[in-house]
Amino acid sequence: MGSLIREFRRRKPIDRMIAEAEGGGHGPALRRSMGLWQLTLLGISSVVGTGIFFVLGTTVPKAGPGVVLSFGLAAVVAGLGALCYVELAGVIPVAGSTYSYAYASLGEGIAYLVAWCLILEYGVAVSTVAVSWGQYLNEVTSSLFGVALPDAISQPPGAGGYVNIPALVVVLLCSLLLARGTRESAAVNAVMVCVKIGVLVFFVAVALTAFSTDNFTDLTPHGIGGVTVAASGVFFSYVGFDAVSTASEEVRDPRRTIPLALLFTLLAVTTLYVAVAVAAVGAQPADRFGEQADAGQAVLAEILREVTGTGWPALLLSAGAVISIFSVVLVTLFGQTRILFSMARDGLVPEVFRRVDRKRHTPVGNTWIVGAGVGLLAAFVPLQHLADLTSMGTLIAFLAVAAAVIALRRIAPDAPRPFRVPLYPVVPLLSMASCLYLAYLLPGLTWTLFVFWLLLAAGLYLGFGRRHSRLRPGADESEAEGSVTIAGEVMSPTGPSDAAPPHA
């Protein structure tokens, strides 16, 4: 038992993480091809998904016009976590995000569990978003061409469909783009982000023409409790900005770029969300939101339809949702593959997840395995009971990041910190407390499923992870130095290993 506890608590040195991130003798394993602008757009793309298009239909009935405060409260929680991410991204500028931060501060066992929380967050988020792609694609094609796929192959299982073919297609298309290269993926993502932000800005501009202060007369009809409960649901709309830090090994000057991209992402997203909420609530009474959601209507589209008196807004919002889903799937898959890449480099998951294509400088096998798994999940599994797991996984990740800030201040007080969390330790402690509170508000079924997931992760660690860890006693030299496999050739930070097979 003592040996197991020591294995669970062993930490990976920060300087070793950074040395591994710099790659082998032929250059970094992952190409540094993104700048601040591309990375910020990647973060915005990951956060601004379909949630903002429809979350008001379920949260306004709980909070009334005070849903604007709910967005602000969720932004505060996300902001506290973002400050912690910014400090850690400067100290540990490597791929893996929360997993890597936890490995350097909280120990291997906690890092492994945190990694599976992130995999849960990203995997369920992608599947939940992807299942609705066919619905909005059908709305666009029906309006433009009068053609739509049958419900049996375009609706989610359990909601009129048997297999969701469009969900599988969108995941595989994103996997193909990611396998081709990070630069190409970032360029396509930048275009899609501009389009979907443009759609939301258009909504705000049109809705404000019908703005009425009377709709804010009773700001909190259900009290502050309604605002906080709605905030736990609104928080789903902030999921994903931690994906910025998973790209640490593929951006230029990561110690500067990652912190700035995190802050810019949170500022842009919060401004956009609050503007949409204010415009929407100002355009129609709060009691209309629940009625529209119960009728299966897209709330923002209905507001535009009533304000303009025409049907084309529904087409515009559907087109925006199609693009939004594609970009969210793209970026979220990116984040999940980079977490598995970091875990494989540490020996905690199989070797295939860290093999990098020599030409593309991307983990191609990793990308296709993740894409196939997520695509099949989205195509065949009903996900209505799993959506809250995304929020749970994110909140636990934020909790771990705040704890890592405190731990690293003690373990490595002299490590370079381009940015320091202000009001330390108040901010990380507030972040931990607020995450625990929002997690407490999630349904009991979510907690049950989450505990089951953690037990599964613990079993995988005991059965595989701890036995193959690069930090285990007796690990060979190439493992101890953090080798990287590139197209079948083992590369160590000092050059090709003697054990490397010859080129084909």
Pick out the chain residues at pLDDT < 50: 24-28, 477-478, 480-504
Residues in CB range of 108: below 8 A, 6 or more apart: 7, 8, 9, 10, 11, 12, 348, 465, 466, 469, 471
Q: Which phi-psi region, left, alpha or beta, contains residue 70 (left: φ > 0; alpha: ψ -120 to 50)?
A: alpha
Give bridge partners of residue 356 from the DSSP assignment.
486
Q: How far apart are CA 116 and CA 349, in angstroms?
A: 11
The pLDDT of residue 410 is 93
Where are the chain's structural domains? 12-480
On whether the CB atoms of residues 340 and 370 are closer than 8 A, the answer is yes
- pLDDT value at residue 103: 92
Query: How many residues in the chain?
Result: 504
- Structure confidence at residue 30 (pLDDT): 61
Q: Which two tokens stand for residue 295?
A: 């009728």
Contact 74, 237 (CB under 8 A): yes
What pLDDT sits at residue 472?
81
Q: What is the pLDDT of residue 503?
A: 32
Q: For residue 114, count other CB atoms closer than 10 A to its CB.
A: 29
Q: What is the pLDDT of residue 245?
A: 74
CA distance 50 to 36: 25
Nearest alpha-carbon partner for 132 in 350, 320, 402: 320
User: Is the Cβ–Cβ distance between 247 and 34 less than 8 Å?
Assistant: yes
The set of residues, in sequence order, having a beta carbon less than 8 Å from that of 250 and lying 6+ positions away, is: 30, 31, 32, 33, 34, 95, 182
Q: Which residues contact 214 (CB under 8 A, 6 or more apart)?
A: none
**Predicted pLDDT at 384:** 57
Residue 161 bridge partners (DSSP): 157
Residues 476-489 as b/e (b if ≥16 CB within 10 A, e otherwise) read eebbebbbbbbeeb
**Cα 115 to Cα 460: distance, rounded to the nearest angstrom:** 12
Give 236's DSSP letter: G
**pLDDT, position 476:** 54
Distance from C-alpha of 91 to C-alpha of 66, rounded to nearest angstrom:
38
CA atoms within 13 A on the CB side of 486: 23
Distance from chain centroid for Cα 259: 16
pLDDT at residue 429 in the model: 95
pLDDT for position 297:
62
In the numeric block, which tokens belong to residue 298?
């897209």
Q: Are 417 and 91 in contact (CB under 8 A)?
A: yes
- DSSP 8-state symbol, 156: P
- The b-or-e profile of 387-417 (16+ CB within 10 A means b, else e) is bbbbbbbbbbbbbbbbbbbbbbbeebeeeeb
Distance, CA of 359 to CA of 501 (rounded, Å): 18
- Half-sphere exposure of residue 133, counting CA atoms within 13 Å on the CB side? 28
Q: How many CB atoms lie within 10 A of CB 187?
A: 14
Confidence (pLDDT) at 369: 93
Tokens of 138: 């059908």
Per-residue confidence (pLDDT) for residue 334, from 0 to 100 = 84
CATH H-level, domain 12-480: superfamily: Amino acid/polyamine transporter I (1.20.1740.10)
CA distance to 171, 228, 229, 322, per residue, from 53 (Å):
21, 20, 19, 11
SS (H, E, C) 114-142: HHHHHHHHHHHHHHHHHCCHHHHHHHHHH
Q: Which residues of 140-175 are buried (b: 16+ CB within 10 A; e: fewer)?
A: beebeeeebbeeeebbbbeeebeebbbbbbbbeebb
